[in-house]
Structure 1
Amino acid sequence: MEPQNVSKGDRNKIYFLVIVIVALIGTNAFLFFKDRQQSQRFVTVSTEKDKLRLEVEKIEVELDKVNALNLDLGEKLESEQKLAREKIAELKTALEKGQITQGELDKAYTQISELKVFVKNYNDQILQLQRDNLFLKNSRDSLESTLKNLSGRASNLENENSNLNAKVKTAAALKLQNAEIVAFRTKSNGKKIEVTKSSGTEKLSVRFSIVPNELAEKGHHNIYLRVFDPAGNLLADESNRFEADGQEMQFSHSIFINYNNDDSTYVIDWANPNPFIKGIYTVILYADGNTLGKAQIDLK
């Protein structure tokens, strides 16, 4: 059987079908590889987002560590941390989006790099702040210790001065060298007569001298008398008061003397507002807030 001849039109149809088949195969291949590339790109973008999110969280942890130190950061450092946290919040919001472009990823990388530099510088400032605080604390503790020691020394010096002043005051105090009491009455002609009986006594005359003392202050000194009757009653006016030996007292009489650190004899006359009675009268003398000495007389 002889082969049939293929017409020219049939050949053209065959060529056309071949071309269509080849085009379909090429299109399918293109779409296959395109889908594969998009899938790989989606996986890459997701991975990059996770990496960025982890970096952001690391930066946030570093800032939280600073807050945990409870340092007084000051206005400048507080402001810098606030701006950094605002950027972190923006990055978190961007990374939570369902889709993100490569440009947005690049921008996020840039921002994170800037934040890393900021956190490093920020931590350096915090370390310096801690060192400064430690130095200030040590200086303060040293100053407090020094002040405490100085205060202790000052207190000791004050006590020593107080004790020294007390000793000087004691050493400078006037002391009675000798004293005697004479009872007398005045005659009609004005002459004073010494008596020994209570019935004839009008006044007591206290005669005394003071021990010479170079430390004692020269000049006027107020001398106070306290007179006690034989029954031990103080003979004094309620309004007559002075201080001696650390307490307030009543006095019977007082005079001024001019002390010149010599053997001068001083005399104080005291009139009893009540009649004298038999027995021993006691006179205690005071000067400059201290007891000067005492003397007694026995009236018959």
Structure 2
Amino acid sequence: MNSLQPLRTLEAGVLAVAYHESGPAGGPPVFLMHGFPYDIHAYAGVVPALVEAGCRVIVPYLRGHGATRFLHEATQRSGEQAALGADLLALMDALAIPRAVLAGYDWGGRACCVVAAVWPQRCAGLVSYNSYNIFDHARALEPDTPENERRLWYQYYFHSERGREGLRRNRRGLARLLWQTWSPSWRFDDATFERTAAAFDNPDFVDVVVHSYRHRYNLVPGDPAYAAIERQLAKQPPITVPAITFDGADDGVRPPSPASAHARLFTAAREHHLVPGAGHNLPQEKPAVFAQAVLQLVRA
């Protein structure tokens, strides 16, 4: 079982970001961004292939996860999409990386999409699971189909104080349930889950998660520091860089959609693929597929 150790720590924006870095310092840079409720080990099977190809690979813990910490107690523990994108940009700045291939899924994919849409000059190419992964706040309270609403039960759970307390008390049990239901064909073992579950012991995990799922439904205000970015995202800006997008055929939370559903939001070359036998955690379930997509953009 591959482990992404050792970790480095770097002050970037409002965070002391814990991240794994490997590969040659002069290689083409790639950022791999994990989702919720996951951690950097989602990419344990992806990193070796990229390093072997000569890439400089950076895999950070998101805010509220693992060893990443806020620098100041007064900073709002926001989980909004603008904050995630700003964190990625700040890390690129701190590492003096002007441009990189950005790849991710779930929260991490959203961070990549935000940077690609708002700061396209910083993105050499985008790998995004679930395609255009920028939340549309203007449509937040539009109901979905009953089946899709059922899939989102955990988001509505976090809207209540019962949900906050449930996450605080049962973060491992809840995360494991989400892994099982979101990736029903993935047979992960206890050791794989526990290696990641340690990331949920971060002292800000509950606050960041709860804020994320309340803010996206306009139930709580965002951090004023990201208001300008949120205004840009409200316009649903297109992705203007080369992109490879995926859906998993077995995804239990975000059912697959055809490429045409997001076509207007990608104005450069884009490939879209449906991956058989894959659920929501694509890089960990199908690492070779994910790595090949990253390398395709690196070599473009």
TM-score (norm 2): 0.16
Bigger proportion of residues as helix: 1
Higher relative contact order by CA 8 Å / sep ≥ 6: 1 or 2? Answer: 2
Question: Which structure has greater strand proportion?
Answer: 1
TM-score normalized with structure 1 length? 0.16
CA radius of gyration, larger in: 1
